[in-house]
């Protein structure tokens, strides 16, 4: 800490070194990495900042069901699909935060794997289909544009308050997942896709663990290349899709928090060999709960479902997600070793 700089008080008291360490590791495990496939939504508190050099590895389990392939963020409601499509998917990944010109740069990668099953219509008859294996890996590059500068020390982290923060992100998925052109349902999508977005975090009220409240909004646009080998060699094309996500998050205790979630998707009209399908205009709502198990490990669980899905051509989708995230930083781990040696 710089000479003459007083420690930040929280709730009228000066944080102890052990409290500072707990806060730092909690921030590591809470703020880095999460799934991006369930209703194409990024989890709440994903875009909070943490220490430069922080790392995280998540293990995520999702159970999804709907009338479209839940592994495809375009959510193509195809006449070739009959009934419900179910997916049980595990996602693993890695993320790192780095300083860049006094701003925080985030690099993340996700790899889905699992099983998807449902009924497909071929020549007017319904057949069961399923696929297992790996999906398309996705990477994200993000940079903070407005808000606190990159945090390079524990005192920087203790002074962190997002206030009004703005990031810019670019996501891209690589079409190397499991794909069979004889099937409608696949884990891989056999085409490039990704998005650009501008996550916003707005702090509401005091920034004290146990009392933190945020409103988080992410407007983004998804882009899709053509799949020229879709289900028997046809061409699947999808227009850009606009998505707006929102989370209202609140601490219940220092280690337990919740969020009310919503996502709206519009556009993204698809066509198969030039035959147009319905565009999306769907709203999903959900709930997320998070708990800090220990210094490094956090647990989150969430559920989301579409609500304006009464018409036969509407997207109908719901999914449950549970994730364990392990976060660490060499400075924090060094403090823990010194504490253990005392």
In tens digits, the chain (342 residues) has pLDDT values of: 444 444 444 444 444 444 444 555 545 544 444 444 444 457 788 888 888 888 888 888 889 998 888 889 899 888 878 778 999 999 888 888 889 988 989 898 989 999 999 987 766 677 788 999 999 999 999 999 999 998 888 788 778 889 999 999 999 999 999 999 988 899 999 999 999 999 999 999 999 889 999 999 999 999 999 999 998 889 999 999 999 999 999 999 988 999 999 999 999 999 999 888 889 999 999 999 999 888 788 889 999 999 988 887 788 899 898 988 888 888 777 777 777 776
Residues 16, 22: Cα–Cα separation, whole Å: 10
Residues 281, 267: Cα–Cα separation, whole Å: 7
Q: Phi/psi of residue 19, each to 5°?
A: -65, -40
- Spatial contact of 318 and 286, defined as CB atoms under 8 Å apart: no
The pLDDT of residue 327 is 85
276 SS3 class = strand
The pLDDT of residue 11 is 45
Task: Using alpha carbons, select from 93, 175, 177 the residue that is nearest to residue 135.
Answer: 177
Fold observed for domain 20-341: Lipocalin (2.40.128)
Return the biggest CA–CA distance within the chain: 78
Question: Between vectors from CA 17 to CA 12 and to CA 19, what angle results, nearest 5°?
Answer: 60
What residue spans define the domains of the chain? 20-341
Using a 10 angstrom Cβ sphere, with 0-12 exposed, 13-18 middle and 19 or more buried, the burial of residue 206 is exposed
Residues 6+ apart with CB under 8 A from 299: 290, 291, 292, 293, 322, 323, 324
Residues 65, 318: Cα–Cα separation, whole Å: 6
Residues 166, 112: Cα–Cα separation, whole Å: 28
Left, alpha or beta for 281 (phi > 0: left; psi -120 to 50: alpha)?
A: beta
The pLDDT of residue 231 is 86
The pLDDT of residue 32 is 44
Task: Using alpha carbons, select from 41, 33, 38, 32 the residue that is nearest to residue 195.
Answer: 41
Half-sphere exposure for 311 (CA within 13 Å, toward CB)? 8
What Rg value do the Cα atoms of the chain yield, rounded? 21
Q: Which helix (H) or strand (E) holds 243?
A: strand 241-251
Cα distances from 24 to residues 61, 93, 162, 179, 331, in angstroms, run 26, 21, 15, 42, 10
The pLDDT of residue 123 is 62
Chain Cα centroid distance, residue 12? 35
Task: Using alpha carbons, select from 142, 197, 113, 114 the residue that is nearest to residue 31.
Answer: 142
């Amino acid at each position: 800490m710089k000479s003459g700089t007083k420690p930040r008080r929280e709730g009228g008291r000066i944080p102890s070194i052990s409290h500072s360490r707990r806060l730092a590791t909690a921030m590591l495990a809470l703020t880095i990495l999460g799934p991006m496939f369930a209703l194409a939504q990024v989890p709440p508190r994903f875009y909070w900042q943490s220490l430069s050099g922080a790392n995280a590895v998540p293990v995520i389990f999702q159970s999804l069901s709907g009338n479209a392939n839940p592994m495809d963020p375009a959510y193509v409601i195809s006449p070739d699909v009959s009934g419900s499509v179910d997916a049980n998917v595990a996602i693993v990944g890695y993320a790192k935060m780095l300083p860049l010109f006094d701003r925080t740069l985030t690099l993340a990668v996700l790899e889905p794997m699992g099983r998807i099953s449902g009924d497909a219509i071929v020549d007017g008859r319904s057949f069961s289909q399923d696929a297992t294996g790996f999906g398309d890996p996705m990477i994200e590059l993000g940079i903070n544009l407005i808000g606190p500068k990159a945090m390079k020390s524990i005192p920087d982290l203790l002074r962190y308050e997002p206030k009004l923060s703005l990031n810019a992100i670019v996501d891209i998925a690589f079409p190397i997942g499991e794909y069979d052109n004889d099937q409608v349902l696949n884990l891989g999508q056999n085409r490039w896709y990704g998005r650009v977005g501008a996550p916003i975090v707005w702090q509401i009220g005091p920034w004290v663990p146990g009392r933190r409240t945020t409103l988080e909004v992410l407007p983004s646009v998804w882009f899709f290349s053509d799949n020229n080998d879709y289900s028997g060699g046809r061409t699947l094309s999808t227009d850009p899709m606009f998505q707006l996500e929102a989370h209202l998050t609140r601490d219940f205790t220092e280690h337990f928090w919740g969020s009310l979630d919503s996502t709206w998707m519009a556009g993204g009209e698809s066509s198969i060999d030039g035959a147009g399908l319905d565009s999306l205009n769907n709203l999903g709502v959900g709930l997320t709960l998070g708990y800090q198990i220990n210094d490094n490990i956090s647990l989150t669980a969430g559920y989301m479902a579409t609500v304006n899905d009464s018409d036969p051509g509407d997207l109908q989708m719901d999914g449950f997600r549970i994730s364990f995230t392990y976060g660490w930083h060499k400075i924090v781990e060094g403090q823990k070793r010194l504490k253990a040696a005392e």
